[in-house]
Structure 1
């Protein structure tokens, strides 16, 4: 797990720890000290700790003029025990929303499992972004994780599946990626 890095090819365009509006502004990362782990497996030190023992993220790109951000996630999303959605919503999403972000793309190809609790925070997040003509898109989540989201009706609050299951996002610029996801989301919502 320590070899799985957050996507780094957009670092020439955006770096969250250098963005004064980012929740991770001023963070210092080590390339040599592995301080965080998921269970007994250390993870790459470039992932951002949000206060969960099993869910880590990286803001890959934020565009405050267009009002969107792209987040990459890593680990196990556990709402049942750790209430990860509350931590993500309160400590990351709400701070970004205060800066004008209302469209969220979450890349979940490195989410290994999901454990549900209830959908209250998802509903709250959805209601808040919907008021600003925003949305939440889940891209490249594993099939069994999407099935868990569906079993708990979380898919009511996020756009997922279909063309969002296997997106070759690494071959695009952040703007191209956002435009393609935005067009798909708008079709689904229409």
Structure 2
């Protein structure tokens, strides 16, 4: 896992550590010192910790005018034991909502497991953004991760599932990726992301 880096090709457009409105403003990173782990496996030092022992993230892009943010995650999402959603909601999402972000894209193709508990924080997140026309969308879930999310009934508050999987987002600009996800959330035709850029 140590060689899986957060997506870096949008760094010329956005860096959370340089965004004074970001919860990660001012963070510094090492390219060579590996300290964070998912169980016994070190992860790349560019991933951000936020209180979870097994789940890490990177804010890839935030657009305050359009009100959306794209976040990539890695590790195990465990609400059962570690209450990861509480740390994510309180320490990352709430500050972002205060800054006017209300549409959240979570890329979870590197989330290896999801262990759900209750849906209270997800419901709160949904209620916090719904009045602004906002939403939460989880993209590219592994099948067993999606199954566990369904068992926890997250589909009431979070958009995920087959239509949001296998999105080839990397070749595209973040604004185009957002428009494609927004169109899917709103039930429009998938017309924004061709297979090749």
TM-score normalized with structure 2 length: 0.94
- Structure in which a larger fraction of residues adopt helix: 1
SS at match of 2:170: helix
Aligned equivalent of 1:47: 47
Q: Does 1:108 align with 2:108?
A: yes
| Deviations, residues 23-55 of structure 1 (Å, cap 9, x unaligned) | 000000000100111111110000000111100
Aligned equivalent of 1:15: 15
Q: 5+ residue gaps in structure 1?
A: none
| Deviations, residues 109-144 of structure 1 (Å, cap 9, x unaligned) | 000001111000000001111011100011001110
* Alignment partners' CA distance in 1, 2:163 and 2:118: 26
SS at match of 1:170: coil
Aligned equivalent of 1:146: 146
CA shift, 1:83, in A, is 0.3
CA shift, 1:152, in A, is 1.1
TM-score normalized with structure 1 length: 0.97
SS at match of 1:169: coil
C-alpha RMSD over aligned residues: 0.8
Aligned equivalent of 2:73: 73
Structure 1 runs (4+) greater than 4 angstroms displaced: none
* Alignment partners' CA distance in 2, 1:37 and 1:152: 26
Aligned equivalent of 2:191: none
CA shift, 1:161, in A, is 1.2
Q: How many residues align?
A: 188
Q: 5+ residue gaps in structure 2?
A: 189-197
| Deviations, residues 90-121 of structure 1 (Å, cap 9, x unaligned) | 00000000000000000000000011110000
